[in-house]
């Protein structure tokens, strides 16, 4: 009897592992965190205090845009993965127009930031840290534009939680320890040292976990923005005009002057014109249809279209029959991502400056032909294709493309470095955060704000930590002729919120932190729901795998063809089969950044929120 029981248990366990837990029923799987069920609203982000900020805004009658703005502001005040000088990018569903809107609040390269300048400094890439890594601040403009155009509350109301945090909040261990670990670099920059190292000369110079962390300079900067709004309202301006008055004070007034002064003092390139001329862009997102679901991503100034390309390729395979995280499924998805990311690495860039071939890259015909390149073995020599014929065009960089392809083809697979050393992983998966909100009126917001993480250069006496996003440019056109720095140009970034629609209604809003791994993890979350029927919490906690067969967007922009990370509970026979297909395997406890998502239950008129059991990410629903 015992033997029969063990056989039955093995069969059920294997069936569930291979088929994605389809028959258990929603909510019955023992998730590590509960599903967030809400009727009126849901707010999920990377910090518990920031989720509380979103809840407070909802309780005041704000909509999902108001709450998202408050949550971005709060997370920007809490430092470890972003700050006020970083960048914000969002997808917003407007229930009145029935349209998905894209917000481009990424800063651009300042005056003097050219290929020639960085090469003259002896650099192979723009630096990871310091004033020369900084694009112009984008997050303040992103918050104020979203609020002015689509929110309902005042800037003062939305900034109040972050201003309270700036006056002093109990710092969590993750951020406090990051400041202590980076104190040698922080000491290079006087305004950063003043804020981040309040115990100079002591054994521990950074704050301790639980210590009340005060940012008086930042509080004064936020107060100036609120005062500009108040003055405009007193002068008879409308709510929207008053918010844009605060916008102008940040980018054209006394705040801008101090940002420029403090940045240039420390060796940066900013000019007052750089800040005054920068604008938030409200754009049309890109999208593809996958089995009746429209998936939206930001344009090719992000890596987002790589997820869309991957879906187009994978549509040519019966993924469900392969079984969730079977060796064949992992191999197929890995190869599809490799094909998509090879195109990302060569073709993506700022569409205001370059004409990337997105029509061809996102065509179903191109994807079908790329899918034919997937064989039984891992291909470490996957390179970019030529999408121009699929949009009736001629590739302007055909010589560079052929040279790129020839260099890849000439490589000896045994020479590929597949070692996942700690620095490479840190560079590859550099964190950000995510913000997901939705409300009963129908507004949906998905955001991945970032930039200005610890250690950040603080711009003078503003308390504003500057972005490090210049490092995502390349200086060699043979790597990517579309992503070379020049003043006013935005780098191609990893930041990539997601929003999916089905039958004309929101289906899924989802985002994750984790650098180049973001669209890998988001692709798998989407497939977990769509192909394997997981509920949203199961999908966020499920085992992912990570590929490193694409250029890192950080540091030295390295690549590790064939390297793969599997979760440590992956069955040994799956690991063995993948090793036989040419993969270098490592097993880790966690295999994604914190995934945050909202699934829309139209049958019952409610929200289902999911937040993975990794990191500090947290959600509240009502």
Ranking 58-62, 292-296, 402-406, 509-513 by mean pLDDT, the lowest is 402-406
DSSP letter (8 states) at residue 492: P
Run of H or E residues at 8? helix 2-19
pLDDT at 19 over 70: no
Please report the pLDDT score of residue 426 as a whole number.
65
pLDDT at 320 over 60: yes
pLDDT tens-digit readout, 51-93: 999 999 999 999 999 999 999 999 999 997 899 999 999 999 9
Tokens of 381: 């020599």
Residues in contact with 424: Cβ distance below 8 Å, sequence separation at least 6, in sequence order: 548, 552, 555, 558, 560
Strands (E), 278-364: 281-283, 286-290, 293-297
State the pLDDT confidence band at 5, using cuts at 50, 70 and 90. Answer: very low
Please state the three-class secondary structure of 390-418 as a single string. Answer: HHCCCCCCHHHHHHHHHHHHHCCHHHCCC
C-alpha 390: how far from its chain's center?
29
Q: What is the Rg, in whole angstroms, of the alpha carbon atoms belonging to the chain?
A: 24
SS3 state of residue 620: strand
Site of tokens 């940066």? 268
pLDDT at 16 over 50: no
State the pLDDT confidence band at 431, using cuts at 50, 70 and 90. Answer: low
451: nearest Cα among 435, 431, 437: 431
Average pLDDT, the chain: 92
Please report the pLDDT score of residue 588 as a whole number.
87
Please report the pLDDT score of residue 413 as a whole number.
64
Site of tokens 């005062």? 227
Please report the pLDDT score of residue 614 as a whole number.
79
Tokens of 169: 């909040």
Q: Which residues of 358-389 are buried (b: 16+ CB within 10 A; e: fewer)?
A: bebbbbeebbebbbeebeeebbbbbbbbbbbb
pLDDT at 444 over 80: yes
pLDDT at 243 over 70: yes
Q: What is the mean pLDDT of residues 458-479?
A: 97
Q: What is the mean pLDDT of residues 436-458?
A: 97
pLDDT at 416 over 80: no
Cβ atoms of 435 and 449 closer than 8 Å: yes
The whole-angstrom separation of Cα 470 and Cα 81 is 16
Please report the pLDDT score of residue 14 as a whole number.
33
Tokens of 350: 């700022």
536: nearest Cα among 611, 591, 619: 611
Q: What is the mean pLDDT of residues 577-606?
A: 92
pLDDT at 417 over 90: no
Measured over the CA atoms of residue 327, residue 328, residue 330 and residue 334, the dihedral's sign is positive
Please report the pLDDT score of residue 525 as a whole number.
97
Span 286-422+496-621 CATH architecture: 4-Layer Sandwich (3.60)
State the pLDDT confidence band at 345, using cuts at 50, 70 and 90. Answer: very high
Write the DSSP assignment of 154-184 as a string of letters: -HHHHHHHHHHHHH-EE--HHHHHHHHHTHH
pLDDT at 390 over 90: yes
pLDDT at 138 over 80: yes
pLDDT tens-digit readout, 482-519: 999 999 999 999 999 999 999 999 999 999 988 888 99
Q: What is the mean pLDDT of residues 611-620?
A: 86
Cβ atoms of 511 and 434 closer than 8 Å: yes
Please report the pLDDT score of residue 258 as a whole number.
98
Please report the pLDDT score of residue 15 as a whole number.
34
**Angle of the 305-314 helix axis to the 327-347 helix axis, nearest 10:** 140
Query: What value, to the nearest 5°, has the Cα angle with vertex 125 and ends 120 and 126?
Result: 80
Residue limits of CATH 3.60.20.40 in the chain: 286-422+496-621
How many C-beta atoms lie closer than 10 Å to residue 610's C-beta?
Answer: 29
SS3 state of residue 551: coil
SS3 state of residue 434: coil
């Amino acid at each position: 009897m015992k033997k029969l029981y063990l056989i039955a248990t093995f069969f059920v366990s294997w069936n569930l592992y291979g088929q994605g837990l389809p028959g258990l029923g929603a909510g019955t799987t023992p998730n590590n965190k509960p599903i967030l069920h809400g009727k009126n609203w849901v707010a999920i982000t990377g910090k518990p205090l920031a989720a509380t900020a979103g809840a407070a805004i909802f309780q005041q009658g704000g909509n999902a845009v108001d709450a998202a703005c408050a949550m971005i502001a709060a997370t920007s005040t809490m430092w470890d993965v972003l700050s006020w000088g970083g960048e914000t990018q969002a997808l917003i569903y407007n229930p009145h127009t029935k349209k998905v809107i894209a917000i481009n609040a990424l800063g651009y390269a300042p005056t003097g930031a050219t290929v020639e300048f960085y090469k003259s400094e002896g650099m192979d890439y723009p630096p990871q840290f310091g004033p020369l890594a900084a694009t112009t601040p984008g997050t303040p403009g992103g918050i104020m534009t979203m609020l002015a155009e689509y929110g309902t509350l005042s800037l003062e109301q939305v900034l109040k939680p972050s201003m309270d945090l700036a006056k002093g909040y109990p710092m969590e261990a993750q951020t406090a320890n990051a400041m202590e670990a980076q104190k040698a670099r922080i000491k290079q920059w006087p305004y950063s040292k003043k804020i981040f190292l309040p115990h100079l000369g002591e054994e521990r110079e950074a704050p301790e976990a639980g210590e009340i962390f005060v940012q008086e300079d930042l509080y004064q900067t936020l107060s100036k923005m609120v005062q500009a709004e108040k003055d405009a309202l007193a002068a008879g301006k409308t709510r929207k005009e008053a918010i844009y008055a605060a916008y102008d004070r940040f980018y054209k007034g006394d705040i801008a002057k101090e940002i420029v002064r403090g940045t240039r003092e420390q060796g940066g390139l900013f000019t007052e014109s750089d800040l005054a001329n920068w604008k938030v862009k409200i754009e049309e997102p890109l999208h593809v249809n996958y089995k009746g679901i429209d998936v939206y991503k930001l344009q090719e100034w992000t890596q987002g279209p790589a997820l869309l390309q991957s879906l187009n390729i994978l549509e040519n395979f019966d993924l469900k029959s392969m079984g969730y995280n079977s060796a064949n499924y992992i191999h197929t998805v890995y190869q599809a991502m490799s094909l998509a990311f090879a195109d990302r690495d060569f073709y993506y860039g700022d569409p205001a400056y370059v004409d990337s071939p997105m029509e061809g890259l996102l065509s179903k015909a191109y994807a079908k032909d790329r899918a034919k390149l997937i064989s039984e073995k891992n291909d470490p020599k996957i390179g970019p294709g030529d999408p121009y014929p699929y949009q009736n065009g001629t590739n302007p960089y055909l010589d560079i493309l052929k040279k790129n392809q020839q260099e890849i083809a000439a490589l000896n697979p045994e020479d590929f470095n597949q070692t996942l050393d700690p620095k490479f992983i840190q560079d590859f998966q550099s964190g950000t955060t995510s913000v997901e909100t939705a409300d009963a009126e129908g507004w949906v917001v998905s955001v991945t704000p970032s930039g200005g993480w610890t250690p950040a250069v603080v711009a003078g006496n503003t308390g504003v930590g500057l972005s490090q996003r210049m490092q995502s440019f390349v200086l060699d056109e043979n790597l990517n002729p579309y992503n070379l720095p020049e003043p006013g140009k935005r780098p191609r970034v990893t930041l990539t919120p997601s929003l999916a629609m089905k039958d004309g209604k929101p289906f899924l809003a989802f985002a994750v932190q984790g650098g180049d791994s973001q669209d890998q993890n988001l692709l798998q979350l989407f497939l977990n729901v769509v192909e394997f029927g997981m509920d949203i919490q199961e999908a966020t906690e499920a085992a992912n795998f990570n590929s490193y067969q694409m250029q890192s967007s950080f540091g030295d922009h390295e690549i590790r063809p064939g390297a793969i990370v599997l979760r440590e509970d992956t069955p040994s026979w799956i690991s063995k089969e993948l090793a036989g297909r040419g993969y270098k395997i490592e097993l880790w406890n966690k295999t994604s950044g914190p995934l945050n998502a909202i699934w829309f239950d139209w049958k019952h008129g409610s929200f289902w929120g999911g937040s993975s059991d990794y990191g500090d990410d947290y959600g509240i629903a009502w």
